[in-house]
Amino acid sequence: MRPETTIPVVRRIPTNRDDAFAFAIEGHLSSADIENIYGLLEAAYEQHDKIDLLVRLDGYQGFDWNAAFKDSTFAMQSRSLKHIRRYAIVGAPAWISLSASLMKPFLSIEMKTYSAEEEAEAWKWIEAEEVKE
């Protein structure tokens, strides 16, 4: 369990569009973190039929494999496929980039991976900008 003083693993990144969502993921994703992300996305789907999504992986250290294979996680992933138009993953480890490439032909969403240095291209691809707070 993480100490109370640590930065949250999932942080929402404000964007200039109501239907563009972005998250920074830092560290190791627990089951609760995964449910938090899907909960935020479910709220977005209530407002918008289709959204664009950017996920920035800063210091990503993996995820709870048990959470990835829970029935509730599969259901949330399934619902997400109906609502995501474009999905950009920035700073992904090689295995995530490879997995995304292998899954693309089977998904109805457009998905691209970018290196951390290519983040500006990812924002341009989803046609959104980060709003600095």
User: Which structural domains are found in the chain, ordered by start?
Assistant: 10-125 (3.30.750)
* pTM for this model (two decimals): 0.82
Q: For residues 111 and 104, what is the distance between their CA atoms, to the nearest angstrom?
A: 7
Per-residue pLDDT 10s for the chain (133 aa) are: 444 545 568 889 999 999 999 999 888 888 788 888 888 898 999 999 999 999 999 877 667 656 555 555 545 566 677 899 999 999 988 777 788 887 777 777 899 999 999 999 999 999 999 998 7
Query: Which residue from 116, 70, 79, 72 is spatially nearest to 96, judged by alpha carbons?
Result: 116
Q: Is 127 helix (H, G, I), strand (E, B) or coil?
A: coil
pLDDT for 66: 64
Residue with the two structure tokens 């992904």: 92
pLDDT for 1: 47
58 dihedral zone (left: phi>0; alpha: psi -120 to 50; beta): beta
